[in-house]
């Protein structure tokens, strides 16, 4: 905490230069070095070293940020992994019905590349994925209504799960603070800033 410009608790005069005094981050009070009894670098009121409260707060912030990053990694790994597994299942179903084409394989590989780019913190990939999954969720909802109208219960369940997974991923990419913190950490790591 900065002491310059604050009033010394002991002599009631302003502290003019940083070298002349200290301020306690816990008590929120300032002292001239000359006014401190036996200047040990401690606040006479709470007995903490000057700057100790700021260091403790910085440590708490770092722990909070690391918890958010880990939570974001877990959420994003689950969602993107589930989407990748869903895409693989779709390919398998197409293959079993002998309807698998090269376009299906290219689409799936493109999805995997996009998910990888999102996971590494590429901003445009995050935006593109959110938009594409939002569109997918809409069309899956329309498909679910058609299956519901025709009484196809199992197909309705599968499409409904896929729709919810797409929607949950969009929400996580757009509004989740933990996912945002994780992606910021990944971007910094990728750019060599961390």
CATH number of 1-50: 3.30.40
Q: What does the pLDDT read at residue 128? A: 95
Over the stretch 21-55, which tens digit does the pLDDT of each residue have?
Answer: 888 877 888 888 888 876 567 787 877 777 666 66
Secondary structure letter of residue 42 according to DSSP: B
Residues facing 32 on adjacent strands: 21
For residues 119 and 97, give the distance between their C-alpha atoms in angstroms, rounded to a whole number: 32
Over the stretch 165-187, which tens digit does the pLDDT of each residue have?
Answer: 999 999 999 999 989 989 988 88
For 81-116, b where at least 16 C-beta lie within 10 A, e where not — what string? eebeebbeebeeeeeeeeeeeeeeeeebeebeebbe
Residues of the chain with pLDDT under 50: none
Residue span(s) of the chain under CATH 3.30.40 come to 1-50
What is the pTM for the complete model shown?
A: 0.64
For residues 155 and 52, give the distance between their C-alpha atoms in angstroms, rounded to a whole number: 61
């Amino acid at each position: 905490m900065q002491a310059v410009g604050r009033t010394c608790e002991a002599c009631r005069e302003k502290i003019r230069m940083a070298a002349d005094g200290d301020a306690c981050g816990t008590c929120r009070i300032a002292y001239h070095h000359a006014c401190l009894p036996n200047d040990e670098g401690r606040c006479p009121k709470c007995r903490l070293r000057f700057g100790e409260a700021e260091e403790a707060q910085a440590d708490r912030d770092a722990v909070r940020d690391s918890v958010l990053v880990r939570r974001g990694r877990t959420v994003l790994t689950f969602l993107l992994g589930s989407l990748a597994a869903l895409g693989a299942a779709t390919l398998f179903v197409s293959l079993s019905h002998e309807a698998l084409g090269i376009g299906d394989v290219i689409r799936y590989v493109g999805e995997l590349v996009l998910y990888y780019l999102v996971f590494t913190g590429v901003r445009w990939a995050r935006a593109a994925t959110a938009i594409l999954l939002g569109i997918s969720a809409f069309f899956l909802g329309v498909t679910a209504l058609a299956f519901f109208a025709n009484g196809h219960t199992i197909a309705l369940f599968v499409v409904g799960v896929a729709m919810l997974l797409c929607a949950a991923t969009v929400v996580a990419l757009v509004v989740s603070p933990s996912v945002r913190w994780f992606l910021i950490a990944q971007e910094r790591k990728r750019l060599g800033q961390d």
